[in-house]
Amino acid sequence: MTGTTITSQPGTPFVEVTREFDATPAQVFRAYTDPELVTQWLGPHGIEMEIFEYDARDGGRYRYVHRDERGEYRFRGVFHTVTANERLIQTFEWEGAPGQVSLDSATFEDLGDGRTRLHTHSVFPSVEARDSAIAGGMSAGITESYERLDVILAKEA
Amino acid sequence: MAVDDEVLDRAFTALGDPVRRALIARLSRGEATVNELAEPFDITKQAVSRHIQVLETAGLITRSRDGQRRPCHLVPAALEALTGWIDTYRLATERSYRRLDAVLEAMEEK
């Protein structure tokens, strides 16, 4: 069992995430690019997602809204590179902070045996933008208890 | 808990290495000597010792003396400071990926 690893060094504008899935790269790629599937998983817990546009091919645009009891959060961007079953590179912008565009890449590494390791790498326009994006994720209303160590450790040992 | 930024920086830098994270993971299950820590790795004991020194300087682990043994221990407070900073973000991301797990599972059944 492998959890989510997040690497986010202080003083840099990067966030990296690694996570393994019990599925082939083709399946993970589909879950990332088929809007009907994307709405089922992307975004914080307890949020409703509506996609207006999701054209996952080179130069295609996407736009969606997340809704919860506190309001609406609209996001948009462009797919820069879409390589089937291998890689996605896209821009990402919360319309509430226009101009703070990050560049996200997701790579689907084939581990064989129907498993895939996802690597994401996000580049924010500044360290401050990166930190506030993380702080935004932190305010997502999380109350459960969890294993503290595991966080940094990358893996559930 | 107030945390000195410099301490946090040093700790994060120390954890920027996969071997050192693995050492921390091992120590989270209990104290261990350098020999015990070196065992699973395909690197020299000297290299492991250097990693341990980095973790010690960063304040993440301490070493005690027990006769001939000098076991390493985690410093829980230091890790707590680190985990508090990034915990909830990771958890939110992990939750999203758990939904993705479910989506992928449903896909296979089709």
**Residue A51 belongs to a domain:** yes
Taking the C-alpha atoms of residue A81 and residue A102, their distance in angstroms, rounded to an integer, is 15
User: Given 1.25.40.10, 1.10.10.10, 3.40.50.300, 2.60.40.1220, which CATH number is that of B5-85?
Assistant: 1.10.10.10
Q: What pTM was estimated for this model as a whole? A: 0.61
A35 touches chain B (CB under 8 A): no
- Torsion angle of C-alpha atoms A148, A154, B3, B7, degrees rounded to 10: 140
**Residue A59 belongs to a domain:** yes
Taking the C-alpha atoms of residue B47 and residue B49, their distance in angstroms, rounded to an integer, is 5
Lowest mean pLDDT among A6-15, A78-87, B54-63: A6-15
Please give the average per-residue pLDDT across B60-79, as a whole number: 85
Domain with A114 in it: what CATH number?
3.30.530.20
Nearest Cα residue to A37 out of B110, B106, B90? B106
Q: What pLDDT is recorded for position B87?
A: 66
**Residue A2 belongs to a domain:** no
Residues of A within 8 A of B73 (CB-CB) are: none
**E-strand stretches of A8-151:** 14-21, 48-54, 61-68, 71-83, 87-94, 102-112, 115-123
Spatial contact of A73 and A99, defined as CB atoms under 8 Å apart: no
Structure tokens that stand for A47 in this block:
């949020």
B110 touches chain A (CB under 8 A): no
pLDDT tens, residue by residue, B8-40:
677 777 877 778 877 887 787 788 999 889 888
| Candidates A42, A48, A151, A156, partner chain B, best to mutate (most B CBs within 10 A) | A151
Residues of B within 8 A of A120 (CB-CB) are: none
- Closest chain B residue by Cα to residue A27: B104
Taking the C-alpha atoms of residue A22 and residue A87, their distance in angstroms, rounded to an integer, is 18
pLDDT tens, residue by residue, A113-140:
999 999 999 999 988 778 777 765 543 4
Cβ neighbours, 10 Å, residue A144: 7
B77 touches chain A (CB under 8 A): no
Domain that holds residue A114: 16-140
Taking the C-alpha atoms of residue A93 and residue A89, their distance in angstroms, rounded to an integer, is 14
Taking the C-alpha atoms of residue A8 and residue B16, their distance in angstroms, rounded to an integer, is 9
| B96/A17 touch (CB, cutoff 8 Å), yes or no | no
Number of domains in chain A: 1
Closest in B79, B88, B101 to A21, CB measured: B101
**Residue A133 belongs to a domain:** yes
SS in 3 state form for chain B?
CCCCHHHHHHHHHHCCCHHHHHHHHHHCCCCECHHHHHCCCCCCHHHHHHHHHHHHHCCCEEECCECCECCEEECHHHHHHHHHHHHHHHHHHHHHHHHHHHHHHHHHHC
- Report the range out of A36-40, A52-56, B7-11, B60-64 with the highest average pLDDT: A52-56
* Residue A7, strand partner residues: A16
In this prediction, residue A24 has a pLDDT band, given cuts at 50, 70 and 90, of very high
**Residue A105 belongs to a domain:** yes
**Where are chain B's structural domains?**
5-85
Q: Is the pLDDT of residue A155 over 50?
A: no
| B96/A41 touch (CB, cutoff 8 Å), yes or no | yes
Q: Is the pLDDT of residue B80 over 60?
A: yes
Q: Is the pLDDT of residue A150 over 80?
A: no
Assembly ipTM: 0.72
B9 touches chain A (CB under 8 A): yes
Smallest Cα distance from B10 to chain A, Å: 10
